[in-house]
């Protein structure tokens, strides 16, 4: 097939011109880092000498010798991800479903309130959590529980291995009504009322049937979008334990998630090759969970 140059410039060339700035940034800040992480994961690299190829050593070490990873980081990450991911996601869907059944003005107000925690995710909110869970009696939770007579001594919430994970989960759930929540809400509002009427005439007999037979199938694409956002958000939120407790590693590794483990090896111990191997494992986990979501919500072609 022969296409003249001027025609190519006109047709395809201009398309690539429009894409170019985004594509460049995409390649530099997303594609290359992922490839580089994969490449570095097969090396020993201390950021001083150039990387030395070590084959699968990093992965083998991660799976067989990294006691911290196996005993704390992996179980913590899975516990955190399984509660916050599907939990936050189900909550987002249920709230979107409820909001969709309210008139516009209250719906908008509630949506704003529920969405607001995810606007500032992280930084500004640390101020709040520090005050709320403060270890002395001026902390809100301590003063509340002591006021009720439930406790005599203030608890060092953020420094206590037994509480840190629960607090991390609550804090992350609190800010999980993000963009996926808005997508699901918008999706539910778009479902044609005739669908419900038709289903009712066909003999559907409960609200639950309605949710599973009409609502969810009708907004599968938004459900999938929301699921991907929930998965990414969950793993991206992994730094919360270090933010809350103020130390990496977290007290007795109680809140240590895979993201902190990467930072620990990469920026504190300068074992960049090993850290890169952990990054690859993290990316594979995200990919795996996204595949699962895809299975659940893929639209039939």
Partner 1 sequence: MATRWYQPYIGVKNRGINPEGFHVSQIKFYIVLIPLAGLMLLPIIYIFSSAFKPPEELFAYPPPLIVTNPTMKNFNDLFSILSTSGIPVSRYLFNSILITLVTVAASIIISSAAAYALSKKQFRLKQTLFVVNNVALMFVPIAVTIPRFLIVENLNLLDTFWVHVLPVLAMPVGLFLLKQFIDGIPDEVIEAAQIDGASDLHIYWRIILPMIQPALATIAILTFQAAWNNADTSTTYINNESLRTLAFYLTTLTSTTATGADAVAGQGVAAAAALIMFVPNLIIFIFLQSQVMSTMSRSGLK
Q: Which of residues 216-255 bind partner 1 (CB under 8 A)?
A: 219-222, 224-225, 228-229, 231-232, 235-236, 238-239, 246
Nearer to partner 1, 151 or 239 (CB): 239
CB 195 within 8 A of CB 217: no
Contact between 125 and partner 1 per CB under 8 A: yes
Nearer to partner 1, 139 or 255 (CB): 139
Residue 142 CA to residue 134 CA, distance in Å, equals 8
Contact between 163 and partner 1 per CB under 8 A: no
Mark residues 127-156: x for contact with partner 1 by CB under 8 A, - for none. Answer: xxxxxx-x-xxxxx--xx--x---------
Question: Which segment (56-64, 81-89, 154-162, 183-191) binds partner 1 by CB under 8 A?
Answer: 183-191
Contact between 7 and partner 1 per CB under 8 A: no
Contact between 211 and partner 1 per CB under 8 A: no
Q: Which helix (H) or strand (E) holds 52?
A: strand 52-53
CB 97 within 8 A of CB 211: yes
CB 178 within 8 A of CB 118: yes
CB 273 within 8 A of CB 40: yes
* Rounded least distance, CB 152 to partner 1, Å: 15
Return all residues near 190 (Cβ < 8 A) that are at least 6 apart. 219
Contact between 59 and partner 1 per CB under 8 A: no
Residue 131 CA to residue 85 CA, distance in Å, equals 26
């Amino acid at each position: 097939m022969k296409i003249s140059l001027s025609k190519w410039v006109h047709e395809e060339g201009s398309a690539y011109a429009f894409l170019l700035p985004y594509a460049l940034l995409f390649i530099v800040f997303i594609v290359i880092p992922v490839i580089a992480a994969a490449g570095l994961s097969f090396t020993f690299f201390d950021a001083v000498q150039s990387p030395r190829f070590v084959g699968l050593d990093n992965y083998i070490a991660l799976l067989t010798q990294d006691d911290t990873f196996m005993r704390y980081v992996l179980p913590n990450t899975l516990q955190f991800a399984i509660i916050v991911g599907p939990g936050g996601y189900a909550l987002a869907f249920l709230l979107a479903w409820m909001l969709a059944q309210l008139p516009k003005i209250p719906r908008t107000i509630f949506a704003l309130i529920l969405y607001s925690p995810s606007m500032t995710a992280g930084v500004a909110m640390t101020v709040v959590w520090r005050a709320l869970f403060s270890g002395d009696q001026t902390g809100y939770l301590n003063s509340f529980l002591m006021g009720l007579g439930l406790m005599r001594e203030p608890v060092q919430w953020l420094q206590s291995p037994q509480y840190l994970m629960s607090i991390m989960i609550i804090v992350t759930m609190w800010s999980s009504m993000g963009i996926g929540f808005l997508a699901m809400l918008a999706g539910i509002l778009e479902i044609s009322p005739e669908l419900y009427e038709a289903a009712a005439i066909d003999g559907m007999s409960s609200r639950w049937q309605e949710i599973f037979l009409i609502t969810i199938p009708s907004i599968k694409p938004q459900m999938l979008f929301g699921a991907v956002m929930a998965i990414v958000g969950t793993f991206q939120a992994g730094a919360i334990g270090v933010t809350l407790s103020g130390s990496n590693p977290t007290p007795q590794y109680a809140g240590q998630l895979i993201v902190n483990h990467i930072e620990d090896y990469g920026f504190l111990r300068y074992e960049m090759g090993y850290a890169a191997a952990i990054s690859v494992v993290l990316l594979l986990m995200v990919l795996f969970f996204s595949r699962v979501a895809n299975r659940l919500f893929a639209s039939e072609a």
